[in-house]
Amino acid sequence: MTTPSGQDSLIARLAQARRLLALAQTGLHYATSPFDTERYAEIARIAHLQLAEMASMQACDVAALFASETGYANPKLDVRCAAFNEAGQILLVREAVDGLWSLPGGWADVGVSPAENAAKEAREESGYTVNIVRLLAVWDMLKHGHPPSVFHIWKLVFLGEIVQAGEICGAETDAVQFFDVDDLPALSQGRILPEQIRRLHALRNSGDVEFD
Protein backbone atom coordinates (compact mmCIF):
# COMPACT_ATOMS: atom_id res chain seq x y z
CA MET A 1 0.00 0.00 0.00
CA THR A 2 1.40 3.40 -0.98
CA THR A 3 1.75 5.85 1.92
CA PRO A 4 0.89 9.56 1.43
CA SER A 5 4.60 10.43 1.35
CA GLY A 6 5.26 7.56 -1.05
CA GLN A 7 2.40 8.76 -3.25
CA ASP A 8 3.85 12.28 -3.31
CA SER A 9 7.26 10.87 -4.27
CA LEU A 10 5.69 8.80 -7.07
CA ILE A 11 3.83 11.84 -8.42
CA ALA A 12 7.04 13.90 -8.38
CA ARG A 13 9.01 11.18 -10.19
CA LEU A 14 6.22 10.78 -12.76
CA ALA A 15 6.28 14.53 -13.39
CA GLN A 16 10.04 14.40 -13.96
CA ALA A 17 9.77 11.44 -16.34
CA ARG A 18 6.91 13.09 -18.28
CA ARG A 19 8.95 16.28 -18.58
CA LEU A 20 11.99 14.33 -19.74
CA LEU A 21 9.90 12.58 -22.39
CA ALA A 22 8.34 15.89 -23.51
CA LEU A 23 11.80 17.40 -23.97
CA ALA A 24 12.91 14.36 -25.96
CA GLN A 25 9.79 14.47 -28.16
CA THR A 26 10.20 18.17 -28.88
CA GLY A 27 13.93 17.71 -29.49
CA LEU A 28 13.28 14.91 -31.99
CA HIS A 29 10.83 17.18 -33.82
CA TYR A 30 13.32 20.04 -34.23
CA ALA A 31 16.62 18.14 -34.43
CA THR A 32 18.50 18.54 -37.72
CA SER A 33 21.68 16.67 -36.80
CA PRO A 34 21.72 12.85 -36.73
CA PHE A 35 23.81 13.09 -33.57
CA ASP A 36 21.13 15.22 -31.84
CA THR A 37 18.44 12.81 -33.06
CA GLU A 38 20.35 9.91 -31.53
CA ARG A 39 20.73 11.74 -28.22
CA TYR A 40 17.06 12.70 -27.99
CA ALA A 41 16.03 9.15 -28.88
CA GLU A 42 18.21 7.89 -26.03
CA ILE A 43 16.57 10.38 -23.63
CA ALA A 44 13.14 9.10 -24.77
CA ARG A 45 14.18 5.50 -24.06
CA ILE A 46 15.34 6.47 -20.56
CA ALA A 47 12.00 8.22 -19.93
CA HIS A 48 10.11 5.15 -21.20
CA LEU A 49 12.03 2.97 -18.74
CA GLN A 50 11.30 5.34 -15.86
CA LEU A 51 7.58 5.53 -16.68
CA ALA A 52 7.39 1.75 -17.13
CA GLU A 53 8.94 1.15 -13.72
CA MET A 54 6.53 3.52 -11.97
CA ALA A 55 3.46 2.25 -13.85
CA SER A 56 4.42 -1.45 -13.56
CA MET A 57 4.50 -1.78 -17.35
CA GLN A 58 6.95 -2.98 -19.96
CA ALA A 59 9.06 -0.23 -21.53
CA CYS A 60 7.92 -1.34 -24.99
CA ASP A 61 4.28 -0.87 -23.92
CA VAL A 62 5.01 2.65 -22.71
CA ALA A 63 6.81 3.38 -25.98
CA ALA A 64 3.72 2.13 -27.87
CA LEU A 65 1.49 4.47 -25.82
CA PHE A 66 3.57 7.44 -26.94
CA ALA A 67 4.29 6.22 -30.48
CA SER A 68 1.72 8.59 -31.99
CA GLU A 69 2.91 11.53 -29.88
CA THR A 70 5.12 13.47 -32.29
CA GLY A 71 5.91 17.12 -32.86
CA TYR A 72 6.00 19.71 -30.09
CA ALA A 73 4.95 17.99 -26.85
CA ASN A 74 1.59 19.15 -25.45
CA PRO A 75 -0.76 17.97 -22.68
CA LYS A 76 -3.55 15.64 -23.76
CA LEU A 77 -7.09 17.07 -23.74
CA ASP A 78 -9.97 15.25 -22.03
CA VAL A 79 -13.45 16.67 -22.78
CA ARG A 80 -16.45 15.84 -20.55
CA CYS A 81 -20.15 16.73 -20.39
CA ALA A 82 -21.98 17.43 -17.11
CA ALA A 83 -25.74 17.12 -17.59
CA PHE A 84 -28.40 17.31 -14.87
CA ASN A 85 -32.06 16.35 -14.68
CA GLU A 86 -34.83 18.55 -13.24
CA ALA A 87 -34.13 17.21 -9.74
CA GLY A 88 -30.52 18.36 -9.95
CA GLN A 89 -29.12 14.84 -10.27
CA ILE A 90 -26.07 14.37 -12.49
CA LEU A 91 -25.91 12.03 -15.49
CA LEU A 92 -23.20 9.37 -15.16
CA VAL A 93 -22.16 6.47 -17.36
CA ARG A 94 -20.57 3.18 -16.31
CA GLU A 95 -17.22 2.45 -17.95
CA ALA A 96 -17.22 -1.03 -19.48
CA VAL A 97 -13.48 -1.42 -18.90
CA ASP A 98 -13.61 -1.21 -15.09
CA GLY A 99 -17.29 -1.12 -14.04
CA LEU A 100 -16.83 2.33 -12.46
CA TRP A 101 -18.81 5.50 -13.16
CA SER A 102 -17.83 8.76 -14.83
CA LEU A 103 -19.10 11.76 -16.75
CA PRO A 104 -19.56 10.96 -20.44
CA GLY A 105 -16.50 12.10 -22.38
CA GLY A 106 -13.01 11.21 -23.51
CA TRP A 107 -10.06 12.39 -25.57
CA ALA A 108 -10.68 15.40 -27.82
CA ASP A 109 -11.24 14.38 -31.43
CA VAL A 110 -9.72 16.02 -34.48
CA GLY A 111 -12.27 17.78 -36.69
CA VAL A 112 -14.78 18.87 -34.04
CA SER A 113 -14.76 21.71 -31.54
CA PRO A 114 -14.49 21.02 -27.78
CA ALA A 115 -18.21 21.72 -27.29
CA GLU A 116 -19.15 19.49 -30.24
CA ASN A 117 -16.90 16.80 -28.78
CA ALA A 118 -18.68 16.97 -25.42
CA ALA A 119 -22.11 16.66 -27.05
CA LYS A 120 -20.98 13.79 -29.25
CA GLU A 121 -19.51 11.85 -26.32
CA ALA A 122 -22.68 12.38 -24.27
CA ARG A 123 -24.83 11.04 -27.10
CA GLU A 124 -22.61 8.02 -27.81
CA GLU A 125 -21.92 7.02 -24.19
CA SER A 126 -25.27 7.82 -22.52
CA GLY A 127 -27.78 7.92 -25.37
CA TYR A 128 -28.87 11.41 -24.33
CA THR A 129 -28.87 14.24 -26.84
CA VAL A 130 -27.71 17.47 -25.18
CA ASN A 131 -27.27 21.10 -26.09
CA ILE A 132 -23.99 22.47 -24.78
CA VAL A 133 -24.82 25.55 -22.71
CA ARG A 134 -21.43 26.77 -21.49
CA LEU A 135 -18.03 25.83 -20.12
CA LEU A 136 -17.97 24.91 -16.43
CA ALA A 137 -14.32 24.08 -15.70
CA VAL A 138 -10.83 23.73 -17.11
CA TRP A 139 -8.72 21.56 -14.81
CA ASP A 140 -5.12 20.44 -14.91
CA MET A 141 -5.31 16.89 -13.55
CA LEU A 142 -1.88 17.27 -11.93
CA LYS A 143 -3.41 19.88 -9.60
CA HIS A 144 -6.16 17.55 -8.35
CA GLY A 145 -6.20 14.25 -6.50
CA HIS A 146 -6.40 11.93 -9.49
CA PRO A 147 -4.36 8.71 -9.52
CA PRO A 148 -0.94 9.21 -11.18
CA SER A 149 -0.96 8.98 -14.99
CA VAL A 150 1.82 8.61 -17.52
CA PHE A 151 0.16 11.46 -19.47
CA HIS A 152 -0.18 15.13 -18.53
CA ILE A 153 -3.91 15.79 -19.03
CA TRP A 154 -6.07 18.91 -19.10
CA LYS A 155 -9.80 18.38 -18.53
CA LEU A 156 -12.56 20.56 -20.05
CA VAL A 157 -16.05 20.08 -18.62
CA PHE A 158 -19.09 21.56 -20.39
CA LEU A 159 -22.63 21.96 -19.09
CA GLY A 160 -25.10 20.02 -21.22
CA GLU A 161 -28.84 20.67 -21.36
CA ILE A 162 -30.78 17.45 -21.97
CA VAL A 163 -32.93 17.45 -25.11
CA GLN A 164 -34.01 13.82 -25.36
CA ALA A 165 -33.09 10.30 -24.29
CA GLY A 166 -31.90 7.53 -26.57
CA GLU A 167 -29.82 4.37 -26.62
CA ILE A 168 -26.12 3.96 -25.83
CA CYS A 169 -24.39 3.54 -29.19
CA GLY A 170 -20.75 3.22 -28.12
CA ALA A 171 -18.82 0.25 -26.76
CA GLU A 172 -17.02 2.10 -23.96
CA THR A 173 -20.00 2.29 -21.55
CA ASP A 174 -22.62 -0.25 -20.54
CA ALA A 175 -25.03 1.64 -18.25
CA VAL A 176 -26.37 5.14 -17.62
CA GLN A 177 -28.09 6.63 -14.59
CA PHE A 178 -28.76 9.90 -12.73
CA PHE A 179 -27.32 10.28 -9.22
CA ASP A 180 -27.56 12.77 -6.37
CA VAL A 181 -24.25 14.62 -6.14
CA ASP A 182 -24.05 13.71 -2.43
CA ASP A 183 -24.79 10.03 -3.04
CA LEU A 184 -22.47 9.01 -5.88
CA PRO A 185 -21.53 5.48 -6.97
CA ALA A 186 -17.94 4.22 -7.13
CA LEU A 187 -16.24 6.59 -9.59
CA SER A 188 -13.46 6.01 -12.11
CA GLN A 189 -11.16 8.47 -10.36
CA GLY A 190 -8.70 8.62 -13.21
CA ARG A 191 -11.55 10.37 -15.05
CA ILE A 192 -13.50 12.30 -12.41
CA LEU A 193 -13.45 12.79 -8.63
CA PRO A 194 -16.42 13.07 -6.24
CA GLU A 195 -15.40 16.57 -5.13
CA GLN A 196 -15.19 17.64 -8.77
CA ILE A 197 -18.76 16.50 -9.42
CA ARG A 198 -19.97 18.44 -6.39
CA ARG A 199 -17.99 21.45 -7.63
CA LEU A 200 -19.59 21.17 -11.09
CA HIS A 201 -23.02 21.16 -9.47
CA ALA A 202 -22.14 24.36 -7.61
CA LEU A 203 -20.71 25.97 -10.76
CA ARG A 204 -23.88 25.12 -12.67
CA ASN A 205 -25.96 26.90 -10.03
CA SER A 206 -23.66 29.91 -9.61
CA GLY A 207 -22.98 30.59 -13.29
CA ASP A 208 -19.23 30.70 -12.63
CA VAL A 209 -16.38 29.09 -14.58
CA GLU A 210 -13.44 27.51 -12.74
CA PHE A 211 -9.97 27.09 -14.20
CA ASP A 212 -6.48 26.14 -13.06
Using the predicted structure, report yes or no on whether residue 1 has a pLDDT greater than 50: no
My answer on whether 97 and 53 are in the same domain is no
Is residue 172 included in any domain, yes or no? yes
User: pLDDT tens, 43-100?
Assistant: 888 887 887 787 676 767 656 666 666 676 688 899 999 999 999 999 999 999 999 9
My answer on whether 88 and 133 are in the same domain is yes
My answer on whether 50 and 88 are in the same domain is no
User: pLDDT tens, 176-199?
Assistant: 999 999 999 999 999 999 999 999
My answer on whether 100 and 189 are in the same domain is yes
My answer on whether 56 and 91 are in the same domain is no
My answer on whether 18 and 112 are in the same domain is no
User: pLDDT tens, 141-177?
Assistant: 989 999 877 788 999 999 999 999 988 887 899 999 9
Please state whether the predicted TM-score (pTM) of the whole model is above 0.85: no
My answer on whether 10 and 91 are in the same domain is no
Which domain CATH number covers 149? 3.90.79.10
Q: Phi, psi (5° rounding) for residue 80?
A: -130, 155
Range of the domain at 92: 76-211
